[in-house]
Amino acid sequence: MEFLHPPNRRSMLQNAGFGFGLIALQAMLGQSRLLGMPDPVQEDNSKQRNSKQGHHPAKAKSIIFLFMEGGPSHIDLFDPKPRLEQLAGQSLPPSFKPIITPMGEYNAPLMPSKRTWKQHGHCGTWVSDWLPHTAQHVDDLAVIRSCWGNGLNHSNGVCQMNTGSTLGGRPSLGSWVTYGLGTENESLPGFVVIEDDDGKVINGPRNWSAGFMPATYQGTALHSNGDPIRFLSPPSPIDPARQDSKRKLIDALNRKHQAGRSIDSELDARIRSYELAYKMQSQAPEAVDLSQESHSTMQLYGIDEKETSVFGRNCLFARRLVERGVRFVQLYHGSGSRWDAHSGIEKNHSTLCRSSDRPVAGLLTDLKQRGLLDSTLVIWGGEFGRTPMSEKGDGRDHNSNGFTMWMAGGGIRGGQTIGSTDEIGLHAVEDRLHVHDLHATILHLIGLNHWDLVYSHQGRPERATQNEGRVCTKLLA
């Protein structure tokens, strides 16, 4: 390519603003207009870009999914079973359909909960003494006691709770939501996942993978230490001016290459991807910078206490991300199946409830006082619940046949308890909600119809709920 007006060599790298400004390029190329070149002025207005209309109006704009990984015991937290007191020590009566338990203690005795139970709030929702802080919010919660799924083990269960299928390969719910609604802030990922400090979630990044959808919709892991997003900055600190020069050189080479190739919008998208990466470099650290938060906010989340500081910080990140337009935030608590109390459930659940209860309650309080709860759907739960039968004397095995989750905020009718399990908490019986039903309802709450949300994969119309699922209208406000 011939330049009619060769650029002044100094001015090119110095004066070009980020994106190697349009004016500089015009001068450089001697053209009055560059086909297909983005207007840098418009680009500053990246908020709202790529945000799509849902299928119907919805209150919820964002979702925070608090994933208690490993399977919290519903019968020790939200679903009291007095009948277990009477059956304590006996094996499962024949009137109950037996289940397959992964640990295979087939004749293990039934074990009642050791908790103290109380009704809370105006609505009188039952919560055990393990979750005193959450209990104060029951008037905002819809507690669903009749969830069920197909995952016998963690891997199946976590995979299904994320993707609808017990087997890998399908997009995560967060991917479906970002596919359906786009993002409200292009400078941050639309679907963010935060794991516990050192835990690694079962199945790894597969849980937030976009499956057969483009990687654009996959979840991005956010870290609270170091780089919040992988490769956000170079491995060893580099002089910012040097980074800047490198970036500008890439931009100049790419723009020069693009001229004459304007029919390929992908080349334009690649140039934009560098601009977005640059914006992300400033926005992501800001999103996880808690120095701007007040002391009382930090206290609210329990960041001032050793036991609650990790999850408290993560919950606070979640609020900050939602405030900044992130569509779907998933927080794992107990990453690496730490809720998996096969033995010693007393110690296990005491510790985990202690470390999560106050942060979760803090998040609800904070969202509410900032007016964000109405537009944020908060979901709490694990991949399954636990058996009323004991395991190893003082633990409980996996139970995906009946377990509890709760939802609060955007579009949810709080202060109610939906569905029930049988009298020992083994099987969901009334208002049974399969994982597909939960997903259909979550999608509905954020404005997406699970029948209309279709992605064509290898010619087949694929849906988040695999052509199943019903919206649970009882949950809706």
Partner 1 sequence: MSQRLNFFALPLAIWATSLLGYYQPSSAQEPDASTKFFEEHIRPILVQHCIACHGPDKSESTLRLDLPDRFQTGGDSGPVIDEKQLENSLLLQAVRHEGLEMPPNKKLSEQQIQAIETWVRSGAPWPKYVKEITAGSDQDSISQADRDYWFFQPLSEPVIPASTFSNPIDAFVSDKLHSQGLNLGERADDSTLVRRLYLDLVGVPPTAADLQSYLELPAVDAHGTPRYEQLVDKLLADARYGQRWGRYWLDLVRFAESDGFKQDDFRPSAYRYRDYVVQALNDDIAYSQFITEQLAGDELDPNSDRMNAATGYLRHWIYEYNQRDVRSHWDNILNDVTDVTGEVFLGLGFSCARCHDHKFDPLLQKDYYRLQAFFAPMEPRYDIVAQSDSVALRQEAFDAWSQCAEPIRSELESLQQETRLQVIENAIEKFPPDVRPALRKSPSQRPPNERSIAVLAYLQIENELKGIDYAKKLKGDPLERWKVLKKQYDELKKGMPKEPEISLTVRDIGTQAPEVRIPGKPSAGPIEPEALSVLADRWPVAPKSPDTPNPSSSTGRRLALARWISDPSNPLAWRVIVNRIWQHHFGRGLVSNASDFGRLGEPPTHPELLDFLALQFIEQGGRFKALHRSIVTSETYRQSSYPEQRSQGHAIDPENRLLWRYNPRRLDAEQIRDSILLVSGSLDDRIGGPSDAADSNRRSVYQRVMRNSPNTMLATFDAPDASVSIARRNTTTTSLQSLFLTNSPWMIRKSESYAKKLVAQHDSPRARIQTMFRESLLREPTEDEYLWISDLVEASSPSDPHGPWADACQALWNTSEFLYIE
Alpha-carbon span 143 to 149, nearest angstrom: 17
Binding residues for partner 1 restricted to 82-101, rule: CB under 8 A: 100-101
* Residues in contact with partner 1, shown as a per-residue x/- string from 169 to 208 under the rule CB under 8 A: x-------------------x------------xxxxx--
What is the nearest approach in angstroms of partner 1 to the Cβ of residue 408? 30
Per CB under 8 A, the segment of 118-126, 213-221, 380-388, 426-434 that binds partner 1 is: 213-221
The string over 337-362, giving b where at least 16 C-beta atoms fall within 10 Å of a residue's C-beta and e elsewhere, is bbbbbbeebeebbeebbebbbbbbbb
The answer to whether the CB of 187 falls within 8 A of the CB of 280 is yes
The answer to whether the CB of 308 falls within 8 A of the CB of 354 is yes
Count of all residues that appear for the chain in the document: 477
Alpha-carbon span 131 to 129, nearest angstrom: 5
Binding residues for partner 1 restricted to 102-131, rule: CB under 8 A: 102-106
The CA dihedral of 338, 344, 347, 349, to the nearest 10 degrees, is: 50
The answer to whether 460 contacts partner 1 (rule: CB under 8 A) is: yes
* Residues in contact with partner 1, shown as a per-residue x/- string from 338 to 377 under the rule CB under 8 A: ----------------------------------------
Calculate the alpha carbon distances from 273 to 187, 387, 410, 437 in Å.
10, 49, 32, 36
The answer to whether 74 contacts partner 1 (rule: CB under 8 A) is: no
What is the nearest approach in angstroms of partner 1 to the Cβ of residue 308? 28
CA-wise closest residue to 476 among 38, 37, 56, 58? 58
Calculate the alpha carbon distances from 53 to 50, 180, 181 in Å.
10, 8, 6
What is the nearest approach in angstroms of partner 1 to the Cβ of residue 321? 16
Q: State how far Cα 412 lies from the chain centre.
A: 18
DSSP 458-477: TTEEEETTTT-----GGGB-
**Please, which residue, 211 or 409, has the CB nearer to partner 1?**
211
**Please, which residue, 78 or 208, has the CB nearer to partner 1?**
208
The answer to whether 40 contacts partner 1 (rule: CB under 8 A) is: no
Residues that contact partner 1, how many (by CB under 8 A): 79
Locate 81 and state its tokens.
Answer: 């079973």
* Residues in contact with partner 1, shown as a per-residue x/- string from 241 to 270 under the rule CB under 8 A: xx--xxx-xx-xxx-xxx-xx-xx-xx-xx
What is the nearest approach in angstroms of partner 1 to the Cβ of residue 470? 18
Per CB under 8 A, the segment of 4-12, 122-130, 322-330, 382-390 that binds partner 1 is: 4-12
Locate 221 and state its tokens.
Answer: 């892991």
What is the nearest approach in angstroms of partner 1 to the Cβ of residue 60? 26
What is the nearest approach in angstroms of partner 1 to the Cβ of residue 46? 11
**Please, which residue, 99 or 298, has the CB nearer to partner 1?**
99
The answer to whether 33 contacts partner 1 (rule: CB under 8 A) is: no
Alpha-carbon span 91 to 60, nearest angstrom: 45
Q: Which of 89, 94, 235, 371 binds partner 1 (CB under 8 A)?
A: 235
